Amino acid sequence: MTSANLLITGGAGFIGSHVVKLFVKKYAHYQVYNLDKLTYAGNLENLADIEEYPNYHFIKGDIQDFSHLQELFEKYQFQGVIHLAAESHVDRSIQNPTEFINTNILGTVNLLHAARNCWNDQQSHRFYHISTDEVFGSIEEPDLFVETTAYDPQSPYSASKASSDHFVRAFHNTYGLPVIISNCSNNYGPYQFPEKLIPLCINNIKNLLPIPVYGQGLNVRDWLYVEDHALAIDLLYHGGRIGETYNIGGNHQCRNIDLVKTLCQIMDRKLSRSSGESENLIRFVKDRAGHDLRYAIDCSKIREELSWSPSVTLETGLEQTVEWYLNNQTWLDHVTSGHYQNYYQEQYHHR
């Protein structure tokens, strides 16, 4: 599929910024429009290396503003949408579920409406919606989530994403809108806001702050390096089958406590600390409400159809991620400034 004008929502966020940079650099014939509200997790510093590219355009805007979306679709005649804009943090959704409803559900429906209103020739367009494995709830060992696994969301965040998935499918089934959906596992890597497990641990370890771990740290997550995810998104946008859903996972399941201990070992080595010094910072705290025990993804469908598989092992990815955060203290200082700094030092946030 070729596309002249491509809209990427949430492109100043963690995953979105990696996707925007990949498309801008790889597809010079695309005009890439990055629509982002620039909330706390959206940061234009993530895109500093492409801001002068002639095929990159930033638009500050909110997907909750339908009239603005309609104007943008009419003005730029987008031939494709990659929809990443979302409130994504579980703990925040527990504190304020309405914000997640407004952005993740209503915002997605606004985008769907705007696309449907402007796309008369459906077959030459594509609406790609990025979602999460959390919509499936928890799964027992040794089973894996497949694309047909029944939805069982347990948090306001996962419920909002499940709802948005259903609306995307409904617009395909009802109106014929050309859609693709993917559900990914936990992403990690450079530019992730330090409310999430890995960058929070790195920051706290560096500053000799406590590392609170929910429960006993036995919750299992599948870890996907963000650049691998961006490559999968590229393949699905161009080659995924319309109306289909694809799982994207890292094939690296790990208990939270084991992940934290691995980070402690890497940090001890890179900061020339004695072995076990960082691990002494771990503190077990009361578990999160509705905390899913285990996520695990089967991504054989995308492997078989598009020959994609994760290329970065968890060991290599963690080394690269730690190195990036240690070398980018200015970026970290900027995103943790103000009232966020104390908030994220005192609390433990991860999916």
Mean pLDDT of 266-294: 96
pLDDT band at residue 338 under the 50/70/90 scheme? low
Alpha helices in the chain (DSSP H): 14-26, 66-76, 90-95, 97-100, 107-118, 156-175, 197-206, 226-239, 256-270, 300-306, 314-327, 329-335, 339-346
Among this protein's residues, is 157 annotated catalytic? yes
Residue of 62, 87, 134, 227 with catalytic role? 134
Q: Which of 56, 128, 157, 214 is catalytic?
A: 157
**What's the pLDDT band for 339 if we cut at 50, 70, 90?**
very low
What's the pLDDT score for residue 4?
Answer: 86
Residue 225 a catalytic site member: no
Q: How does pLDDT run across 121-143, given as a tens digit for each residue?
A: 777 899 999 999 999 999 999 99
Whether pLDDT at 349 is above 60? no
At residue 320, the pLDDT reads 98
Rounded Cα gap, residues 39 and 12, in angstroms? 9
Catalytic residue selected from 133, 165, 234, 292: 133
Domains defined along the chain, listed by start: 5-187+224-248 (3.40.50.720), 189-221+253-294+311-346 (3.90.25.10)
- At 347 the pLDDT is 43
Spatial distance between the Cα atoms of 163 and 95, rounded to a whole number of angstroms: 19
> Residue 62 above 90 pLDDT?
yes
Q: With pLDDT > 90 as the criterion, what percentage of the chain qualifies?
A: 93
Residue 341: its pLDDT value, please?
Answer: 42
Q: Report residue 337's pLDDT band, with 50, 70 and 90 as the boundaries.
A: confident
- In terms of C-beta density within 10 A (0-12 exposed, 13-18 middle, 19 or more buried), how is residue 28 classed? exposed
Q: What is the pLDDT of residue 344?
A: 39
Residue 336: predicted pLDDT: 85
* Nearest residue to 298 (alpha-carbon basis) of 245, 351, 262: 245
Q: Is 53 exposed, middle or buried (0-12, 13-18, 19+ CB in 10 A)?
A: middle
Say which residues have a Cβ less than 8 Å from residue 324's Cβ, sequence separation at least 6: 189, 190
Question: What's the pLDDT at 120?
Answer: 86
Looking at per-residue confidence, does 30 or 342 come out higher?
A: 30
Please indicate whether residue 295 is annotated as part of the active site: no
